[in-house]
Amino acid sequence: MSFAPSTTSVKLVLLGEAAVGKSSLVLRFVSNDFQENKEPTIGAAFLTQKCTVGDRTIKYEIWDTAGQERFASLAPMYYRNAQAALVVYDITKPASFIKARHWVKELHEQASKDITIALVGNKYDLVADDNDSDDSLRKVSMEEGKALAEEEGLLFFETSAKSSHNVNEVFVAIGSKIPEAKPVTEELGSRPGNVGRIDLSGPALRSNLSDCAC
């Protein structure tokens, strides 16, 4: 009873300090576009995008959250039931890296146990040309990022929403780490009007599935 290609829905949340480029990464991934003066996100924005990983299609349900400090206490609403998270920092802003560390810990303590997290150092285009000179704009080294990722068991990428460097790679890498969801036939029958839909698993259902998958 295998469908080819199977589609998996993945709830993904973006977290990170204000103006590190969360919305820009999403915009690049979803519309392959970039805006110089992007409006700040208030509360959260929701977008979807499909992405092919190997032989299956993943439909990302993306929650792009607000970075302003005081919105942090709303974050638990957004990462609830998330299967994947991008924790984004700006490689030219050390403070944003400290905050990324904070978010990783928060997710490990509070989010679903099997959440896949990618640590993303954004705005790579700003440092791409300089060769580690002292006055480089880069303030967070790649090693620091890697070290944190290893310590906490995260995927790690340096990206640029502006040049689109590594952006798709992040989402593909996450996709290939997400366990495949099995289509559930009984559910199909119990919900009329849903017959044509491939994506039939709400987040609650999905977490059940991933439990039995392992």
Q: How far is the CB of 25 from another protein (least distance, A)?
A: 18
| Choices 42-50, 83-91, 166-174, 175-183; region in contact with another protein by CB under 8 A | 42-50
- Residue 196's alpha-carbon distances to 175, 189, 193, in angstroms, are 24, 11, 7
Least distance between ligand GTP and beta carbon 69 (Å): 10
Is residue 22 within 8 Å of residue 3, measured between CB atoms? Answer: no
Rounded CA-CA distance 30/43 in Å is: 19
**Interface with another protein, residue 203, by CB under 8 A:** yes
Q: Nearest approach, Cβ of 63 to another protein (angstroms)?
A: 8
CA neighbor of 48 nearest in space, from 67, 64, 66: 64
Which amino acid belongs to residue 1?
M
Binding-site member from 2, 4, 37, 189 for another protein (CB under 8 A)? 37
- Cβ 46 to another protein shortest distance, Å: 5
Q: Which does 186 bind (CB under 5 to 8 A by kind): another protein, ligand GTP, Mg ion, none?
A: none
Nearest to 2 by CA among 156, 198, 161: 198
With beta carbons less than 8 A apart as the criterion, state whether 101 and 132 touch: no
Interface with Mg ion (CB under 5 A), residue from 8, 9, 41, 201: 41
What one-character-per-residue DSSP string does 165-189 give?
TTHHHHHHHHHHHSPPPPP-HHHHH
The interface partner of residue 128, options being ligand GTP, Mg ion, another protein, none and the CB cut-off 5 to 8 Å by kind, is none
Residues between 108 and 167 that touch ligand GTP (CB under 6 A): 122-123, 125-126, 160-162
Does position 90 interact with another protein (CB under 8 A)? The reply is no
CB 69 within 8 A of CB 75: no
From the CB of residue 170, how many other CB atoms can be counted at a distance below 10 Å? 23
Whose CA is closest to 99, among 89, 108, 109, 91?
A: 89
Tokens standing for 177? 């780490």
| Residues of the shown chain interacting with another protein in the complex, contacts defined by CB under 8 A | 9, 18-19, 37, 39-40, 42-44, 46, 48, 61, 63, 66, 68-74, 76-78, 80-81, 95, 98-99, 102, 105-106, 109-110, 191, 193-194, 197, 199-200, 202-204
| Residues of the shown chain interacting with ligand GTP in the complex, contacts defined by CB under 6 A | 18-24, 36-38, 40-41, 66-67, 122-123, 125-126, 160-162
